[in-house]
Amino acid sequence: MQEKLSRRNFLKLVGGAAAAGTAVAIPVAAKGVGQQFVPYVKPPEEALPGDATWYASTCRMCPAGCGIMVRTIDGRAKKIEGNPAYPLNQGKLCARGQAGVQSLYNPDRLKNAVKQNGRGSRSFEPVYWDAALDEVLAKLDSVDPSKIVFYAGTMPDNLYYLVSEWLTAIGAPAPVIYDLHAALEGRAVSLQAAEEMFGAAQMPVYDIANADVVLSFGANFTETWQSPVAYNKAYGDFRGQAGGRGFFIQCEPRLSATAAVADEWVPIRPGVDGLVALALGRIIIEERLGTAGTLGQIYAGMYRGVDVPTIANAAGLEIEQLHRLARILAEADRPVVIPGGYTAGQTNGYGSYQAIQALNLVLSRLGRRGGVYLSQPAPAETLLTMPAPNSFADVQALIERMNAGQVEMLFVYGANPVFELPQAAGFKEALAKVPFVVSFSSFVDETAVQSDLILPNNTYLENWGYQVASPGADRPAVACQQPVVRPLYDTRSTASVILDLAHAMGGAAAEALPWGSEMLFMEDVASILFGSSLNPYTAQTAGEFWAAFRQHGGWWSDRPLQQEPEPVGLGQRPIIVTAPAFDGSARDYPLTLYPYPSVVMSDGRGANLPWLQETPDPMTTVAWNTWVEINPATAHRLHLKNNDVVKIVSPQGEIEATVVEYPGIRPDVIAIPVGWGHEDYGRYAENRGSNPIDLLAPITDPESGALAWGATRVRIERTNRTHALARLESLHGEGRESLS
Amino acid sequence: MTKTINLMGLFDDDKATSAALDDIYELGVRDDQITVISSIPYPEQALGRHHVWVRLPFIVLAGAFVGFLFGYFLSAITPRLYPINVSGHPLSGGPPAAIITYIFTMLFAVISTFIGVLWEIDVPGFEKKFYDRKVTSGQLAVVLEGLPADKEKAATAAMTAHGGQDIRRPEKITL
Amino acid sequence: MSDSVSRIKKSDGIIIPEDVRDQLLLTTLSDDELNQKMLGPMQKTGPMFWTAVVVLAAIFAWGLYAWGYQIYWGFGVSGINRPVYWGMYITTFVFWVGISHAGTMISAVLRIFKADWRRPITRGAEAMTAFALMMAGLFPLIHVGRVWKVYWMIPYPNNRHLWPNFQSPLMWDMIAITTYLVGSSLYLYLALLPDLGMARDNSTGWRYKLYRILALGWRGTEPGWHKLETALGIFAIVIIPVFLSVHSIVSWDFAVTSQPGWHSTIYPLLFIIGAIFSGLSALGSILVVVRWGMKLDFFLRKEHLDNVGKLVMVAGLFWLYIWFASLIVNWYGNMPVIRELMHDEFSGEMAPFFYTMMIANVVPIILLMFRRVRRSPILLLILTLSVNVGMYVERFLLVSGSLLRNYLPFNWGQFRPTWVSLSIVAMTFAGFILFYMLFTRLIPYVPVWEVKQGRLRYGTRLVGRVQVPTITQVD
Amino acid sequence: MTTRLSDNPTTRLSDHRWGMAIDLDKCTGCQACVVSCHAENNVPIVGEEEAAYGRTAHWLRIERYWEGEYPNVKAKFMPVMCQQCTEAPCEAVCPVYATYHSDEGLNGQIYNRCIGTRFCGSACPYKQRMYNWFDPVFPEPLEQQLNPDVTVRSRGIMEKCTFCVQRIRRVKEDAKAEGREVTDGEIQPACAQSCPTNAIVFGDLNDPESRVSQMARSSRAFRLLENLGTEPGVVYLKGGETRV
Amino acid sequence: MSRIVSGLRRQPVILLAGLVLVVVLVGGVVSRGTAVAQDQPLDYSHQTHIAAGMDCLFCHSSATRSQIAGVPSVQKCMGCHETITPESESMQTLQGYWERQEPIPWERVNKQPDFVYFSHQPHVNSGLACENCHGDVSSMDQAQKSVEMDMGWCLDCHAQQDEAIAPHLWDCVVCHQ
């Protein structure tokens, strides 16, 4: 990675995406396809019949923004691989990234713009794009701009830029950005805390690869958390370090796949993460453990009033265990402490998050090798603004406005709030009060069913875009997304729809978005990067740079460059971590629900991809359906066994799931993966399993406004039915390794 | 050229038959002119015939040898003609070749026994033959073929003397 | 003992034990009457016979449909599963190959040892061998995933420059089964020639035409008889090693793999003994049914049932011993995976099958020790059927039950037969019974010429006051 | 035991013995390899019911083992695919040579030669051979994702991991066209290529300098069911332990 | 022997079976290698083009670089035929495809099943002439199948290669995918 990219690596990567985007790429007869040859009319320059052409682009299966290479043969995308040159994922790619090609060829994709005959009717009528856009324009004209709302999931950077410029120009409020994936990984809290503690709203990057002790509080970084491929890569390096394989401790109530690879799993009670962190800090300082204990005396003020025995009791740990952990941390050379999504998803999430991050400060890990960095923004911050997710409280405010009739027009992009928000939040009911709803979904998902008009977005393999890695790599990086195939159907990229709308509206909107096409916009973005002295490839002109930008799949610094966080918001002030609060009384609802993002389904957006549906969960080896993980002791007490169907009841609702006896979970906690339970969203997703989010109480952490998704209590009721889960593992095998 | 006739007589039991045959031999009738037909097998020479040299065991041995060669060819030669490597085994292993060779030896022995015996007893043959259905009722038929016409009387007398019944010049009949 | 002694009194005069009469068919009936006793019942087919034929044919046709269904939709419909790649079909295959073993046992082994009581039952046993092998021979076709490519197993020069792999036990198996089928069919046919001639001479109409063709012009000349007997003697000698090798080769299908529960050197013996045990049992059942159905009490006497019962019992004891030997070896070897398998059989998923097998096999062995049980047709029928159930389950446990477990517990599996596999298995049972039934009405079931020849050999002699059978060495 | 290979004239000619090393210390069970394998090799999906019956067709699966009881419970991951045995139990039992040993040490599976006796599946101690119980289904336009370098297996055929033989072939052909040798790390099966932690390494075991050879010499190296003598081409490096 | 044969001769079933066998064998031999010209959407003559001095690789240009030899694009045809005999009837058809921007649906002449991996690149680059497999196309008007490209045909040629590589070329995975 240090030297300039060799030409060799990129011989097969082609920058001619313009050709793929514009030329007629008719499928040439590959071997065995029918009895006729269908040769090109006009062959794209780089295409050799039957030979693979590789296009570099950006993965959009989650917000991490990994660089990818797409193998295309005769105009059809066949396989997605990681881009070896891109510093974030370095040629690697996760399961969901691999499955991206199935979102392109999904049989349930919308093939054109449609209008729904009455919301929820699921009866769609194709409309011409011009007519659809005219209708949207007419509506835009007729409503008060302040009553237009753009609701989005974590958007690609390019789209975020265009949408926010457009909304500003027409006088509409800023987009509301919220999706379940971001909520489960605590993205908003990370950014909020970084701003308060380090003075910059940037995602912290934990240098696991070079750490010798990693203490993680529910950060499932080998599964779905933030940038899983980069963190997996780092984990591999962590284990392969020359000095030793490192020590990894995971604190969370459930043995996640990440905890499974940890050297030690500490099953703490839900919601006590911050308290445990406080106790550790207190012990380190009080007992002057290691160098940190000596140097950290200046931070003693943060731990004023921390009572270790009380915390140990609350966390369900022995005091000795806390001491041991503190000693391991303090005596390590390069420890790092990571606050995860589950930490943030509690009513005391924000305080906990700060308490955990403060440990890095006490241990002097900010900006150090094997410590914490901030995502380095690329040059040209003006264009490369990151979408900051909104908190759940903001969404609740939006729901209130919708209920009050203050929203007349709602655009939904890249999010599925009807599925993703707790039912008790009342989004679906509020949505019914919005007169005009436009969805940009490529699929008929639960929210699209509640909309009037669907303007299906292209899939990311047919779209332009760019993405600043956040959390970033060891250097600034901007991934370039380019169409690798001509759009399969009559769908349009949402960015181009926004440009078209702005152009048609004229005035301020047209001025704010002067680009005639997405590609021109992209060229402009590239031209900003062109001037940088850090360029990894040589380009004499902006045009050359633009070609290289596409060919290499983006721009990144040719040398490592990381930003050190400055501890502005921490010091002497005591860190307050309140006791966690839970919805539901402990008597009626004795178990705490832990809904966690499935490594294959993520927050449910992977549910329509058959490869992902059939990929077994790493821990339970279950595929295709929702299960509930119960400690064998608890299961025994409730007279439950594997494959029993149970009803899980919370104060807010109830769902059914199938029991998996799971040795790695606290007896007072049950865990249910998120992702199944779709009502709509295509043949592979529909009516399969259930959605644990439906059980959640819409309670928040008052400090951050984040949804306290880990703070709902439930009880289990038997149904006396069984369901054979699709488990890869044999139940008779009892998880044993080999009998030879 | 002497005129020859065929003569047939039926007997009730083995003793009568052999006694009659003894007399007929005395008339100078040769072994190959006499056919005895019965419904059960009698011990060799029980009816006065000479020992018959049976070629069958040699046919079987020859068949078995051909089977041996065929089996060996299949199991040991063909894998070398069309070499494909499996399991790190030699192209043709001894034990599998032994099994195949053995089975083919047996298969060919069985088939050659069957074909050999059919060959030896002249079946299948659907042409008309000297026969009498009373044989299946337990009687023994003695057929004299190519008997000089002048010996007919003597032969008839020999048969009658030992209880021969229905002595006649037989027609060949469809079986 | 004292009881039997007390029965013998001077005043009783010469005693001819009942079984002596039975065994030797000491009858004064003429040859013609014997012929008619055999040919008569063949022409008597009542409504029950035809009902059975229709029902069996329907089952057979349904099985064919199920097979077609399986070929069309794919093997998945049979319920076979990874890692239980071999299920009901191979179990049934092994079962039928096992059944086929009694024919040779009765006719070849007993021919060599000149056990004369065999005479009336040899043909029934040989026919059982042939039909059981035909049913077994269907299974390689049923069992493969692409039956339309099965001819690739046949060695012939081809444009692919490819031969079958003679290192594969399946090839040994296929060739061995073919050899055994060819051998036993030819053996059956050769011994049948004189009786076909007899039937030809005693029938008219279509039967005459049929027998005429089948009899191949057999007359029964003196050299003909002599050569036929020589050939039958050679056959008996050749077929015995084949019969011993066939089932040991079938056992190698399993034993040569490293699959736990399959990999055992004792299996060739266990398979052969098991085959004789189940084959003789099947013969016992068949004899009782045919005797009743065709009213062949004259030919098939209680003495024959008694002797078959004795053989079943002896084979059963032998089987029990070998089975125990394989068990004890596994038990003491105490390999973890074998322990799992045994646990599964003794008290796990497979326990119902295991105990069914034990009861169904061992109870008949014990009961058949009693002469009165052996001589009761109905009891013999029940007990021999029980043995066949038991032996089927034994094969199922060995073939499929073993596959449920392997070295990697993660990959243990499950197996549920479906209507398709059950229909196809039922098809072969129906087919076997149907073809056998039709056979009994078309082909003289009792080798009349052998019975007649037997009379030449038998006599009785007075020893003390008991008339004992004597045998004259005429062949 | 490999000396027995020398009996066979076809095996002496090859320079390569393709092998794989999997560092279990690095495997996080993330399933990237599983999906990657599906994508590369046109592995069909079977749906929930069939999957519940144990008929998933994963050529590569992550086995998860439990150790201990709560709270001292541990889980371990182990990716298991066809072990490409040198003395493969599956090969000898195939009556039609549909599976055989390639001269580069691969346990080759020729799909269109397979008649579906499933003997190889029964003989395989790793149970890593997958049978096509039904014809695979790719609802339109999902069939466009199919890799043209790998045939789609019809019903009644056994299939399994091939070490992505199509990739090996392609790299070798490219190297030959460019007149050079294949370099270490140039060939990557789909699983190794996607593995985010670099736990899976592929290469030539005959080349003592290759990464896979070096890993195979590690003190942590073991082979799955080693005592069966199948001489697998896949080497595992057992998980380590850090003491504090 | 004669007795047996005479017996057999009276068996019409056996005669019939023998006849069927003969028909199958003869039919099998005859059906191999028959060339049937297929109707193509355009009257394209290989003979004319080659007589005009063109090289195979001019049109089938990816044969040296790719698995597939390639059929020229409409653009390539038009490259010459805009000036060469543009008025002929078949050129009018070609023109039609070009104007409609439609590909020409050529009928396949040689086809391998999809489980076969065949690449032109190594074959052509190792000096094998096109005629070796495709016959004398220069004398054909319409391209015709000149050999039955079955497995034995491939193997026969592979077996004749240099002793050092011939066994490699017999490896199943060389051609099977």
Q: How far is Cα E177 from Cα E175, in angstroms, rounded to an integer?
A: 7
**Which chains contact B through at least 3 pairs of Cβ atoms less than 8 Å apart?**
C, D, E
Q: How far is Cα B43 from Cα E145, in angstroms, rounded to an integer?
A: 71
Q: How far is Cα B104 from Cα B69, in angstroms, rounded to an integer?
A: 9
User: Coil, strand or helix: which one is A479?
Assistant: strand
What the block records as the tokens of A480 is 């370039």
- Using alpha carbons, select from A259, A238, A265, A368 the residue that is nearest to residue A325: A265
A–B contact: 3+ Cβ pairs < 8 A: no
Q: How far is Cα B37 from Cα C223, in angstroms, rounded to an integer?
A: 9
Do the Cβ atoms of D63 and D77 come closer than 8 Å? yes
Q: Which residue of E has its CA nearest to C157?
A: E152
At D108, phi and psi to the nearest 5?
-80, 145
Q: Is residue B17 part of a domain?
A: yes
CA distance B24 to chain C (A): 17
**Per-residue pLDDT at E100 exceeds 90:** no
Of A10-19, A80-89, A618-627, A663-672, minimum mean pLDDT range? A10-19
DSSP β-ladder status, A176-177 and A148-152: parallel
Cα separation values, A529 from A385, A519, A523, C115, E160, Å: 14, 15, 10, 103, 59
> In the structure, what pLDDT confidence band is assigned to residue C474 with cuts at 50, 70 and 90?
low
Q: Which residue of D has its CA nearest to A329?
A: D244
> In the structure, what pLDDT confidence band is assigned to residue C2 with cuts at 50, 70 and 90?
very low
D–B contact: 3+ Cβ pairs < 8 A: yes
pLDDT tens digits, residue range A674-707?
999 999 999 999 999 999 999 999 999 999 999 9
For E66, which of A26, A40, A51 is closest by C-beta distance? Answer: A51
Do the Cβ atoms of A696 and A707 come closer than 8 Å? yes
Q: How far is Cα A346 from Cα A270, in angstroms, rounded to an integer?
A: 8
- Using alpha carbons, select from A682, A614, A602 the residue that is nearest to residue A442: A682
pLDDT tens digits, residue range B38-66?
888 888 777 766 666 778 889 999 999 99
pLDDT tens digits, residue range A196-206?
888 888 889 99
Q: E132 has which bridge partners?
A: none
Instruction: Specify the DSSP class assigned to residue A588.
Output: T
ipTM of model:
0.88
User: Coil, strand or helix: which one is C221?
Assistant: strand
User: Coil, strand or helix: which one is D229?
Assistant: coil
Q: How far is Cα A64 from Cα A471, in angstroms, rounded to an integer?
A: 7
pLDDT tens digits, residue range D30-68?
999 999 999 999 999 999 999 999 899 999 999 999 999
- All residues of chain A having their beta carbon less than 8 Å from the beta carbon of residue D28 are 222-223, 232, 235, 257-258, 260-261, 618
Count how many domains chain A has. 2
State the architecture of D16-237 in CATH terms: 2-Layer Sandwich (3.30)
- Using alpha carbons, select from B91, A221, C10, A540 the residue that is nearest to residue D6: B91
D15 CB-contact burial (10 Å; exposed 0-12 / middle 13-18 / buried 19+): exposed
pLDDT tens digits, residue range C285-329?
999 999 898 888 888 888 888 889 999 999 999 999 999 999 998
- All residues of chain E having their beta carbon less than 8 Å from the beta carbon of residue A35 are 107-108, 111
User: Coil, strand or helix: which one is E53?
Assistant: coil
Q: Is residue A506 part of a domain?
A: no
**D-interface mutation test, from A614, A660, A730, most D Cβ less than 10 A away:** A614
For E75, which of A38, A41, A49 is closest by C-beta distance? Answer: A41
Cis omega (within 30 of 0) for bond into A471: yes
User: Coil, strand or helix: which one is A153?
Assistant: coil
pLDDT above 90 as % of chain C: 46
Q: B91 and B142, same structural domain? A: no
Instruction: Specify the DSSP class assigned to residue C158.
Output: -
Pairwise CB contact (< 8 Å): E176 & D111: yes
pLDDT of residue A33: 38
Instruction: Specify the DSSP class assigned to residue B138.
Output: T
Q: How far is Cα D22 from Cα D63, in angstroms, rounded to an integer?
A: 13
pLDDT above 70 as % of chain A: 92
Which CATH number covers residue B15? Answer: 3.30.70.260
Q: Which residue of A has its CA nearest to D57?
A: A614
- Using alpha carbons, select from C330, C178, C214 the residue that is nearest to residue C263: C330
Q: B135 has which bridge partners?
A: none
Q: How far is Cα A38 from Cα A25, in angstroms, rounded to an integer?
A: 11
Q: A665 has which bridge partners?
A: A254
Look up tokens 């731990």; give the residue.
A303
Q: Is residue A18 part of a domain?
A: no
Look up tokens 């040209």; give the residue.
A380
Pairwise CB contact (< 8 Å): B56 & C227: yes
Q: A81 has which bridge partners?
A: A69
CA distance D156 to chain E (A): 15
Domains of chain C in sequence order: 38-471 (1.20.1630.10)
What torsion, rounded to 10 degrees, do the Cα atoms C128, C132, C135, C139 define? Answer: -170
Pairwise CB contact (< 8 Å): D148 & A73: yes
- All residues of chain E having their beta carbon less than 8 Å from the beta carbon of residue D176 are 122
Name the residue ranges covered by the structural domains of chain E. Answer: 2-31
pLDDT of residue D7: 45
User: Coil, strand or helix: which one is C268?
Assistant: helix
Q: D62 has which bridge partners?
A: D79
- The runs of H, that is alpha helices, within C334-473 are 336-347, 351-367, 371-374, 377-396, 402-403, 419-442, 448-457
What the block records as the tokens of A191 is 């950014």
Task: Among A335, A356, A374, give the residue marking a domain's end.
Answer: A374
Q: How far is Cα B118 from Cα E49, in angstroms, rounded to an integer?
A: 69
Query: What is the rounded average pLDDT of the residues A167-180?
Result: 92
pLDDT of residue E7: 40
Q: A254 has which bridge partners?
A: A665
Q: Is residue A551 part of a domain?
A: no
**Per-residue pLDDT at A30 exceeds 70:** no
Q: Is residue A484 part of a domain?
A: no
Name the residue ranges covered by the structural domains of chain D. Answer: 16-237
For B135, which of C167, C176, C220 is closest by C-beta distance? Answer: C220
pLDDT of residue A32: 35
A–E contact: 3+ Cβ pairs < 8 A: yes
For chains B and C, what is the number of CB pairs under 8 angstroms? 186
Do the Cβ atoms of D154 and D115 come closer than 8 Å? no
Which H or E run includes A442? none
What the block records as the tokens of C469 is 């059978």
Concatenate the DSSP letters of all residues of B85-100 into one string: --TT--SS-HHHHHHH
Of A541-545, A638-642, C178-182, minimum mean pLDDT range? A541-545
Q: Which residues of E135-165 are buried (b: 16+ CB within 10 A; e: fewer)?
A: bebeebebbbbbeeeebebbbeebeeeeeee
Q: Amino acid identity, residue C293?
A: G
**Which chains contact A through at least 3 pairs of Cβ atoms less than 8 Å apart?**
C, D, E
Query: What is the rounded average pLDDT of the residues C201-210?
Result: 88
CA distance E75 to chain D (A): 26
Q: How far is Cα B97 from Cα B127, in angstroms, rounded to an integer?
A: 45
Distance from chain centroid for Cα D238: 18
Do the Cβ atoms of A241 and A210 come closer than 8 Å? yes
Those residues whose C-beta lies under 8 Å from the C-beta of residue A295, and which sit 6 or more positions away, are A364
pLDDT tens digits, residue range A200-224?
888 899 999 999 999 999 999 999 9
Cα separation values, B101 from B77, B85, B97, C187, D157, Å: 11, 21, 6, 22, 30
Count how many domains chain B has. 2
- Using alpha carbons, select from C279, C111, C253, C259 the residue that is nearest to residue C172: C253
Pairwise CB contact (< 8 Å): E172 & B118: no
Instruction: Specify the DSSP class assigned to residue C291.
Output: H
Q: E interface toward D at CB cutoff 8 Å? A: 113-115, 117, 119, 121-122, 125, 164, 167-168, 170-174, 176-177
Q: Is residue A545 part of a domain?
A: no
What the block records as the tokens of B104 is 């083919």
Q: B7 has which bridge partners?
A: B144
Q: How far is Cα A74 from Cα C467, in angstroms, rounded to an integer?
A: 97
- The runs of H, that is alpha helices, within chain E are 2-9, 12-31, 46-51, 56-59, 74-81, 89-100, 120-125, 131-134, 151-159, 166-169, 172-175
Which CATH number covers residue A212? Answer: 3.40.228.10
Q: How far is Cα C390 from Cα A373, in angstroms, rounded to an integer?
A: 72
Q: Which residue of E has its CA nearest to C159?
A: E152
- Using alpha carbons, select from C109, C117, C35 the residue that is nearest to residue C471: C117
CA distance C275 to chain A (A): 31
Q: Is residue B50 part of a domain?
A: no
B84 close contact with E: CB closer than 8 A: yes
User: Residue A329 is part of which domain span?
Assistant: 184-374
- All residues of chain C having their beta carbon less than 8 Å from the beta carbon of residue A734 are 409
E103 close contact with A: CB closer than 8 A: yes
For E152, which of C160, C216, C217 is closest by C-beta distance? Answer: C160
Those residues whose C-beta lies under 8 Å from the C-beta of residue A448, and which sit 6 or more positions away, are A412, A439, A441, A454, A680
Cα separation values, D75 from A245, A675, A736, C452, Å: 18, 23, 10, 78
E59 close contact with A: CB closer than 8 A: no
pLDDT of residue A26: 36
Pairwise CB contact (< 8 Å): C340 & A739: yes
What the block records as the tokens of E137 is 């196309």
**Per-residue pLDDT at A315 exceeds 70:** yes
Sign, Cα dihedral of B117, B121, B127, B130: negative
E152 close contact with B: CB closer than 8 A: no
CA distance A718 to chain C (A): 25
Pairwise CB contact (< 8 Å): D2 & B85: no
Those residues whose C-beta lies under 8 Å from the C-beta of residue C127, and which sit 6 or more positions away, are C103, C188, C436, C439, C443, C445
What is the pLDDT tens value at each position of chain D, 244 positions in all?
333 433 444 444 567 899 999 999 999 999 999 999 999 999 999 999 999 998 999 999 999 999 999 889 999 999 999 999 988 999 999 999 999 998 888 999 999 999 999 999 999 999 999 999 999 999 988 988 999 889 999 999 999 999 999 999 989 888 888 888 889 989 999 999 999 999 999 999 988 999 999 999 999 999 999 988 888 999 999 988 887 7
- All residues of chain A having their beta carbon less than 8 Å from the beta carbon of residue D199 are 236
Which H or E run includes C375? none
User: Residue B61 is part of which domain span?
Assistant: 56-120
Q: How far is Cα C36 from Cα A437, in angstroms, rounded to an integer?
A: 96
User: Coil, strand or helix: which one is E110?
Assistant: coil
Pairwise CB contact (< 8 Å): C409 & A740: no
- All residues of chain C having their beta carbon less than 8 Å from the beta carbon of residue B51 are none
pLDDT of residue E131: 86
